[in-house]
Amino acid sequence: MSDNKDPLSIYSSHDRARDSADPTEEQGLKALFQLWSVPKTPARLDWRIIESYRQQILQGDRQEVFMKHCPTCQEEFANKFSFCPVDGTPLDELTDAAAPTEPARVIPPVPFGVTAGAASMALVPAGEYRLTFVDDTGLTRRLVTELKQVAHSSELTWPEFKRDPFGYSKRFVTGYGSLVWRFFSQRNVAIATSAALLVVLTASIGFVVYGRYLEGRAALAERESDLVVEQLISPDEIPSEIEEQEKPDKAIGTGQGGRVGFNKGRGEGSKPKFEKAGGGGGGGQQDALPAQQGRIPPPSEIAAKIPTTPPVRPPLLPVAGLDIDPALYKNQPYDRFGDPRSKSTATSAGPGTGNGIGSGTGAGIGEGQDQGFGPGRGGNMGGGDRNMGGGGPGGGTGNNGTDYSRTFSPKEVNVKARILSRPEPQYTEEARKNQVSGTVVLRAVFSSSGQVTNIRAVSSLPYGLTERAIAAARQIRFSPAMKDGRAVSQYIQIEYNFNLY
Amino acid sequence: MTDERLLVKASRGDEAAFLTLYERHRDAVFRFAYRLLGSTELAEDVAHDCFLSLLKRPQGFDPERASLKTYLLAAARNLAMKHFRGQRGEDALEDLASEPPVPERRGPLHRLLDEELAEVVRLAIETLPPLQREALVLFEYEELALGEIAVVTGTDVGTVKARLHRARRSLKRQLAPYFKRDAEAGVVDEVLK
């Protein structure tokens, strides 16, 4: 730009050469320019300008009279608007010059502080107790007035926002920030706020400390409880499979969530590992006699008091009871612990090992292993693995979880269905006339009840031959398939050949 | 406080803000108007109308485009051009190629007086076509940059350069007898002092 200020630089070299401008000439020209001075700006202009400005402003004020007023947002808008551009409220005509163009004149602003408090008290009749902040209309009105005043002085209007959003935001923060600061910088408010914060802080710290104290007490009680369990159950008496399990599962009655046998092996004494799966019961104490008749201890979730006067030696059943599902537990009409299935009334823990009751091993009851009840392994009642079908909700049935009501394929059954009689279908007249021959393939179910059901044609022939084949299939007599000694339904495919020769 | 803020305040009735704004740019506007029109009364009217138009239509000023001084000078220029059009017609404004007549000069004895020399300069500048004159005044007296002059006059920098060149060439031709002779006589040195 400095080059541009040099008069010579603005000319082309051609012009420069043509004019053959020399510095003396340029200097002389510049000096001549400086001779032409301008008279001082007349003072009359100042007066004219000021007068015009005042007239302009006054005219603007007069024009505001013809603007419209929004009763909701208390803003004024040009006469061309029928509804408030901010909130859509129908605008009022302001035909009277005395209309409240300035809210501050109508509602004298009451600043926050001592004066405001005094004004508030003056609004409340003597002896009347104002319960809440909302109930005190005077305070609410003053707050609204303050907010409106800030909005007015900071020009927080919708048109302003549309015109300059950044400036609007800045004025918003500045205006309301100064209002909040003015409010909280008052002595009384500052003291009250500090006191409230102090109370809240103290209460919070108190709650935290009290919570820590309760946790400490609970942990101490838990440690004492663990100590009692360890004293009651010696390590030698804990079944080996339980020992192999993780610590939470060693403590009987403190399983990791869920009821026994219901939560995918996360119950007591059970892990989702195949080799540690449970089910069934435990053994006796190598007595000559069979296990005595009696009731089984309650599930481990129910506190049990192990009787101290059992047969010869007290069975060392788990202190908290057997590891069985509480849903499967039923009180037995016996006054002592034993195997409820036993017929023996003689005092005996059974020929098994493991200090349980029965012929198995472990601390349970029955022929099985571990601390369950029954012939299986692990916890719970039943004949199978605890979490492999025998120890689940149907653990008592001991059917390995097989649903015998469904239809099996021939490969799944132990003994396939055997056809005893199979009537042949007859040709229809139309098929014979039309020389139709071929094979109809049907798929059906030989149900466990001896009926042929669910017949479907896989391959069909026209002129009624398929219907004839289905009718013949319905007349088949058979012996049902067998699985695990039970009659079960089985899928079967039947073919009927139709030949004319 | 910036001109923009002052203008916003002034348009809302803040008289102090308006006076501050006015005092900032009053002299520049008046000087420019005077040098364009050559009359104190006309310059006063132009300056007055210039500020009044700013008050009536403050949204016409766009801070993104130019400074307020540039805007006011452009307004003054437009008002002056309106005056020229009413006085001389459109052709006179655009007739850049026409060479103005050499102004009537006084006798050599009176030229040594500064006032008279200043009058000669004034007359020489006044004889320039208005478009050349405004470019010269803005460049030499108001010391605006070429870009700013282009904004004020509503043209491009190249046109401004061309007008300045023609104006200076014309003035050199008219004033050559004075500054050459004065330079020889050492008068210019005295003037510069």
Chain A residues within 8 A of B164 when measuring between CB atoms: 7, 10
Please report the pLDDT score of residue A100 as a whole number.
42
**For residue A98, is it within any domain?**
no
CA–CA distance, A261 with A269 (Å, rounded to integer):
10
Please report the pLDDT score of residue A199 as a whole number.
96
**pLDDT(A204) > 90:** yes
Question: What would the mean pLDDT of A20-47 be, rounded to a whole number?
Answer: 76
Chain A residues within 8 A of B140 when measuring between CB atoms: 7, 30, 33
- By DSSP bridging, strand A92-93 and strand A68-69 are antiparallel
Cβ-based burial of A390 (10 A; exposed 0-12, middle 13-18, buried ≥19): buried
Residues B103 and B167 in one domain: yes
Helix (H, G, I), strand (E, B) or coil at A392: coil
Which one has a higher pLDDT value, B115 or A160?
A160
Helix (H, G, I), strand (E, B) or coil at A185: coil
**For residue A456, is it within any domain?**
yes
Q: What does each C-alpha distance from A498 to A14, A76, A424, A461, B20 come to in angstroms?
A: 116, 99, 10, 9, 117
Please report the pLDDT score of residue A132 as a whole number.
43
Q: What's the DSSP call for residue A273?
A: -
Question: What would the mean pLDDT of A32-58 be, rounded to a whole number?
Answer: 80
Which one has a higher pLDDT value, A242 or A343?
A343
Residues B99 and B86 in one domain: no
pLDDT tens readout for residues A11-27: 444 444 444 456 677 77
Cα B73–Cα B76–Cα B78 angle in degrees, nearest 5: 110
Please report the pLDDT score of residue A282 as a whole number.
53
**pLDDT(A261) > 90:** no
Q: Show the tokens assigned to A320.
A: 């908290």
Cα Rg of chain B (Å, integer): 19
CA–CA distance, B37 with B40 (Å, rounded to integer):
8
Residues B50 and B83 in one domain: yes
Residues B48 and B128 in one domain: no
The pair phi, psi for residue B100, each rounded to 5°, is -75, 155
Instruction: Please name the amino acid found at residue A96.
Output: D
The pair phi, psi for residue A51, each rounded to 5°, is -60, -45
Please report the pLDDT score of residue A50 as a whole number.
84
**For residue A444, is it within any domain?**
yes
- Domain interval for residue B142: 95-193
Say how many domains are in chain A: 2
CA–CA distance, B187 with B31 (Å, rounded to integer):
27
pLDDT tens readout for residues B11-67: 778 888 888 888 888 888 898 888 888 888 888 888 888 888 888 888 788 888 888
Helix (H, G, I), strand (E, B) or coil at A63: helix
> Which of B139, B164, B175 faces A32 most closely, judged by CB atoms?
B175
**pLDDT(A72) > 70:** yes
Chain B residues within 8 A of A33 when measuring between CB atoms: 121, 140-141
Which one has a higher pLDDT value, A82 or A235?
A82
Cα A208–Cα A214–Cα A218 angle in degrees, nearest 5: 145
* Predicted ipTM beyond 0.90: no
Residues B136 and B115 in one domain: yes
Contact yes or no for A35 and B114 at CB 8 A: yes
Which one has a higher pLDDT value, A143 or A370?
A143
* Helix or strand run (H / E) with residue B74: helix B68-88
Residues B62 and B88 in one domain: yes
- By DSSP bridging, strand A68-69 and strand A76-77 are antiparallel
Please report the pLDDT score of residue B112 as a whole number.
53
**For residue A400, is it within any domain?**
no
Give the CATH number for residue A473. 3.30.2420.10
In DSSP terms, A444 is beta-bridged to A492
Contact yes or no for A37 and B118 at CB 8 A: yes
Cα A461–Cα A463–Cα A464 angle in degrees, nearest 5: 80
**pLDDT(A202) > 90:** yes
The pair phi, psi for residue A494, each rounded to 5°, is -120, 140
**pLDDT(B109) > 90:** no
Instruction: Please name the amino acid found at residue A100.
Output: P
Question: What would the mean pLDDT of A400-406 be, rounded to a whole number?
Answer: 75
Could you say which of B93, B128, B145 is where a domain stops? B93
Nearest Cα of chain A lies from the Cα of B121 at a distance, in angstroms, of 6
Instruction: Please name the amino acid found at residue B140.
Output: E
> If you average pLDDT over every residue of chain A, what do you get?
69
Provide the whole-model pTM: 0.34
Tell me the percentage of chain B whose pLDDT exceeds 90: 0
* Helix or strand run (H / E) with residue A493: strand A486-498
Which one has a higher pLDDT value, A121 or B146?
B146
Residues B191 and B102 in one domain: yes
Q: Show the tokens assigned to A274.
A: 């195949």
Residues B123 and B44 in one domain: no
Give the CATH number for residue B183. 1.10.10.10
**pLDDT(B79) > 80:** yes
**For residue A334, is it within any domain?**
no
CA–CA distance, A143 with A123 (Å, rounded to integer):
14
Residues B47 and B100 in one domain: no
Say how many domains are in chain B: 2
Contact yes or no for A39 and B40 at CB 8 A: yes
Contact yes or no for B118 and A35 at CB 8 A: yes
Chain A residues within 8 A of B147 when measuring between CB atoms: 1, 4
Chain B residues within 8 A of A57 when measuring between CB atoms: 13, 15
Q: Are A459 and A441 in contact (CB under 8 A)?
A: yes
**pLDDT(A442) > 50:** yes
Instruction: Please name the amino acid found at residue B95.
Output: D
**For residue A494, is it within any domain?**
yes
**pLDDT(A470) > 90:** yes
Inform me whether the C-beta atom of residue A1 falls under 8 Å from chain B C-beta atoms: yes
**For residue A7, is it within any domain?**
yes
Give the CATH number for residue B52. 1.10.1740.10
Cα B16–Cα B21–Cα B25 angle in degrees, nearest 5: 145
> Which of B13, B22, B192 faces A57 most closely, judged by CB atoms?
B13
Please report the pLDDT score of residue B98 as a whole number.
42
The shares of helix, strand and coil residues in chain A, as percent rounded to the nearest 5, are: 35, 15, 50
Residues B67 and B12 in one domain: yes
- Domain interval for residue A441: 407-498
A464-492 burial: b if 16+ Cβ within 10 Å, else e: bbbebbbebbeebebebbbbeeebbbbbb
Residues B18 and B106 in one domain: no
Contact yes or no for A32 and B145 at CB 8 A: no
> If you average pLDDT over every residue of chain B, what do you get?
77
Could you say which of B69, B93, B117 is where a domain stops? B93
Chain A with chain B: Cβ pairs closer than 8 A? 109
**pLDDT(A240) > 50:** no
**For residue A484, is it within any domain?**
yes
* Ramachandran category for residue A77: left, alpha or beta (phi over 0 → left; psi -120 to 50 → alpha): beta
Which one has a higher pLDDT value, A424 or A382?
A424
Nearest Cα of chain A lies from the Cα of B77 at a distance, in angstroms, of 17
Question: What would the mean pLDDT of A362-367 be, rounded to a whole number?
Answer: 74
* Helix or strand run (H / E) with residue A178: helix A165-184
Contact yes or no for B48 and A52 at CB 8 A: yes
Could you say which of B38, B66, B93 is where a domain stops? B93
Please report the pLDDT score of residue A278 as a whole number.
40
Residues B61 and B143 in one domain: no
